[in-house]
């Protein structure tokens, strides 16, 4: 009796989220999957006829007239993946020590700090990126300061370089890395660390055998949440990179807008999604803590 009620309650609780994901995640995903095999309409949209050249153009079969194979799309994807990986790594290096520091603060200060971390979300991303543009430009705040204290002789050329893109991406993604990391670090069982020291482990051994495995879920979670949107980000490369290095996100955006080729945009999206999925599954399974 009780069992059956539990099941009913569970079903009732799961229905809204299932419906929501079904409608707003699965339906669009299926639309993209179907569109990627259709003929592009002359002025955007699709014609309902099977068309495999969208993938051919990416992977190497094409008629050479209307559709031409170019390895450039795979290169763009590779570039986006490496930028995303660098972003993940930098976010991790920056956030990991800070998470420890914050977890040791008195309760009140911890709340203040967590509030500060989420503060950027209160304003639009575009506005914040334009602020970075003003900071990084040759006559901007950063260069004025460095020139002022005599650290550099000529303005640094950061704006419209890959450095600016990585900087912008790290800035945007830091909160997404910090929050899961902090949750993991905050839950760390401190008595285990003490025990480790008592048993004669060095600081490095304690970190590797006790702290790292316990915080690993936070590291994996943060990395995944940072990696996925980084691969598809197109605003940061546009605003801070000067649109000079094409990223996967820009490419997709361009297909749906200026190129008016929705099916090719859909095919590229499918490619990006599957590659991201493969990378993540490999990453997560490799890093799963060995049990026993």
Between 186 and 238, name the residue whose CB sits nearer to another protein. 238
Between 1 and 127, name the residue whose CB sits nearer to another protein. 127
Strands, E assignment, the chain: 38-40, 46-50
Report which of 136, 70, 128, 83 is spatially closest to residue 249, judged by C-alpha positions.
83
Instruction: Identify the DSSP state of 60.
Output: T
Q: Binding to another protein by residue 44, rule CB under 8 A?
A: yes
Q: Which stretch binds another protein (CB under 8 A): 82-90, 207-215, 223-231, 248-256?
A: 248-256
Reading phi first (left if > 0) and then psi (alpha if -120 to 50, else beta), residue 64 is in left
Q: Which stretch binds another protein (CB under 8 A): 2-10, 66-74, 171-179, 190-198?
A: 66-74
Residue with tokens 């050479």: 64
Q: Which of residues 69-128 bind another protein (CB under 8 A)?
A: 70, 72-73, 75-76, 126-127
Tokens of 3: 């069992």
| Helix, coil or strand: residue 22 | helix
Going residue by residue from 208 to 247, which x/- string records binding to another protein, judged by CB under 8 A?
A: ------------------------------xx-xxxxxx-
Rounded alpha-carbon distances, angstroms, from residue 258 to 198, 251, 261: 65, 10, 8
Q: Binding to another protein by residue 21, rule CB under 8 A?
A: no
CB of 134 vs another protein, minimal distance in Å:
9
- C-alpha count within 13 angstroms, C-beta hemisphere, residue 41: 10
Report which of 239, 232, 86, 250 is spatially closest to residue 164, judged by C-alpha positions.
239
Q: Binding to another protein by residue 60, rule CB under 8 A?
A: no
Q: Which of residues 154-183 bind another protein (CB under 8 A)?
A: 159-160
- How many chain residues touch another protein (CB under 8 A)? 40
Tokens of 213: 């495995």
Point out which residues bind another protein (CB under 8 A): 42-45, 66-68, 70, 72-73, 75-76, 126-127, 130, 133, 137-140, 159-160, 238-239, 241-246, 250-251, 254-261
């Amino acid at each position: 009796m009780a069992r059956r009620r539990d099941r009913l309650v569970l079903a009732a609780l799961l229905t809204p989220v299932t419906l929501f994901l079904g409608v707003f995640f699965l339906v669009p995903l299926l639309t993209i999957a179907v569109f990627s095999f259709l003929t592009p309409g002359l002025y955007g949209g699709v014609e309902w006829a099977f068309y495999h050249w969208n993938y051919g153009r990416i992977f190497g079969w094409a008629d050479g007239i209307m559709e031409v194979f170019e390895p450039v799309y795979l290169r763009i994807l590779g570039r986006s993946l490496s930028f995303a990986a660098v972003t993940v790594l930098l976010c991790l290096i920056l956030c990991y020590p800070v998470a420890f520091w914050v977890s040791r603060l008195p309760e009140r200060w911890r709340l203040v700090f967590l509030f500060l971390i989420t503060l950027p979300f209160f304003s639009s991303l575009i506005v914040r990126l334009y602020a970075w543009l003003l900071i990084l430009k040759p006559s901007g705040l950063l260069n004025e300061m460095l020139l002022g204290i005599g650290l550099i002789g000529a303005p640094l050329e950061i704006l419209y370089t890959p450095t600016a893109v990585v900087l912008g991406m790290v800035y945007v993604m830091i909160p997404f890395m910090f929050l899961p990391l902090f949750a993991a670090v905050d839950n760390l069982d401190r008595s285990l660390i003490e025990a480790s020291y008592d048993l004669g482990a060095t600081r490095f051994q304690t970190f590797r055998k006790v702290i790292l495995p316990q915080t690993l879920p936070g590291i994996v979670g943060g990395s995944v949440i940072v990696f996925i949107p980084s691969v598809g980000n197109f605003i940061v490369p546009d605003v801070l990179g000067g649109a000079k290095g094409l990223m996967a996100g820009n490419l997709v955006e361009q297909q749906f807008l200026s190129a008016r080729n929705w099916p090719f945009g859909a095919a590229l999206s499918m490619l990006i999604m599957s590659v991201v999925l493969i990378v993540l599954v490999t990453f997560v399974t490799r890093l799963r803590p060995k049990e026993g």
